[in-house]
Amino acid sequence: MDFSIAAILAQDGITSGAVYALLALALVLVFSVTRVIFIPQGEFVAYGALSLATIQSGKAPQTASLLLVLGLLCWLKEMYAVLRKTASHTSTPNPLSGTLISGFKLVVFPLALWGLTRQFAMQDWPLVVQVLLALMLVIPMGPMIYRLAYQPLAEASTLVLLIVSVGVHFALTGLGLVMFGAEGSRTTAFSDARFEIGALTISGQSLVVIAVSILLIAVLYFYFERSLSGKALRATAVNRLGAQLVGIGTIQAGRTAFTLAAAIGALCGVLIAPMTTVYYDGGFLIGLKGFVGAIVGGLVSYPLAAAGALLVGLLESYSSFWASAYKEVIVFTLIIPVLLWRSLTAGAHDEEDEA
C-alpha cells in the first residue's frame, strides 16, 4: 500500500466515520435519557434515504401514509387517556383543548404532507426542498414511535425496553419492504465537484458529509449547553428521579430525545444516499456500526462515542483493502476487547439497586 492509496482509504474512513459518529451520538442520547437501546435507529437512516429517492423518482413516498397512520394511532391513544380521566373525574379543566392541539400536530400536519406528496410533481423541485420534505416525513415518526411503543413502558427494566426495540426494529424493517420494495436506490449528489490534492482526489460529496456532521455536532453541543430543553435532557440523563423531583417532565424528555435521534438518522440517510445504494434493510447494518462506536463510549460519553465511531469508519475502510471479505467481521470484533476491558474495570452493578 502506497501513500496515495492510504490517503484515499483514510478519506473514505473519515467520511463513513462522520456518519457513524452522528448515529453513535443519537444512540447515546436516547439511552442516557430513556434507558432504551435504540436498535431501530438504522431504520430512520433507510427511511430518510429511500423517501428522498422516491421523491426524486417522481412517486409519492409511502412514508407519508405511514406517518399519517402513526399520527392517528397516537391521537386515538391520547383521546382514550383523556376520556378515562374524564370518567374518573381526575382530568384538568378543558381536557379537550390539549387533545385538539395534539390533533393538529398528530393528524392535520401528517395529512397535509400526505396530500402534498400526491398533488405535486416533486421531482422538479429544488434539491434542498426535496431533502426538507423527506426529513419532515421521517422525523415526526420518532416521537410517535416513542408514544406508542416506549412511553407506556417508560419505567420498565432495560431488558424489557431492549425486547421492545427488537420488535420495533422488525416491524419497521417489514414496513420498509412493503413501502420501498427490495430494490436499492441512490439519490442525486449534493455536489459533483472534485478537488485534486497531489495524487489524492477529494469528492465534493465527502466534504459535504464531513461539514454537515461537524456542524450538527456543534449545534448539538450548543443545544445541550445553552438551551433550557437541552439542559433538561442532560439533567434527565444524569439523574432521572432527580429530574422528576425538580419538575422536569421525563416523558417530554423522552419524546425530545427520540425526535433528535430520528432527525439525526434521517439526515444521515440523506447524506449517504448519493454515495452508496441504500436498501430497505440496509440501515440496520449502518446503525449497528454506530452502535459499536457508542459502546466504545460506554453508552454515556459523547466524545468517546464520536471517537469510537471514527475509529470504526477507519477500520472498515482499511479492512476493505486488506481483507474485503472479512471487513464486517473485523469491525464488529472491535466490540469484544472493549466489552472485556469495561467488564474488568467496572464494578458489579445491579439495576434494581438504583430503584
pLDDT digits (tens, 9 = 90+) for 128-175: 999 999 999 999 999 999 999 999 888 888 899 999 999 999 999 999
Question: Which residues, 6+ apart, have CB-to-CB distance to 67 below 8 Å?
Answer: 110, 113, 114, 137, 138, 140, 141, 144
Instruction: pLDDT band for 317, please (50, 70, 90 cuts).
Output: confident
pLDDT band at 96 (very low <50, low <70, confident <90, very high): low
Our CA angle for 126, 115, 77, nearest 5°, is 120
Residue 6: other Cβ atoms inside 10 A: 14
Contact call for residues 302 and 25 (beta carbons, < 8 A): yes
- Please tell me the predicted confidence (pLDDT) of residue 267: 94
CA distance 269 to 287: 10
Going from N- to C-terminal start, the domains of the chain cover: 3-54+153-345
285 exposure class (CB count in 10 Å sphere: 0-12, 13-18, 19+)? middle
Q: What is the mean pLDDT of residues 332-343?
A: 78
Check whether 347 has a pLDDT greater than 60: no
Q: Confidence class of residue 350 from pLDDT cuts 50, 70 and 90?
A: very low
The predicted structure's pLDDT at residue 354: 45
- For the stretch 15-53, pLDDT in tens is 888 899 899 889 888 988 888 889 999 999 999 999 999
Helix, strand, coil shares of the chain, percent, nearest 5, are 75, 5, 20
pLDDT band, residue 80 (cuts 50/70/90)? confident
Cβ pair 189, 273 in contact under 8 A: no
Least confident of 157-166, 171-180, 323-332: 323-332
Q: Which residue from 170, 193, 179, 180 is spatially nearest to 278, judged by alpha carbons? A: 180
CATH code of domain 3-54+153-345: 1.10.3470
Is 283 within 8 Å of 45 (Cβ atoms)?
yes
**What does the pLDDT read at residue 170?**
94
pLDDT of residue 200: 73
268-294 tens-digit pLDDT: 999 999 988 899 988 888 888 888 888
pLDDT at 67: 94
Does 68 have pLDDT greater than 90? Answer: yes
% of the chain surpassing 90 pLDDT: 27
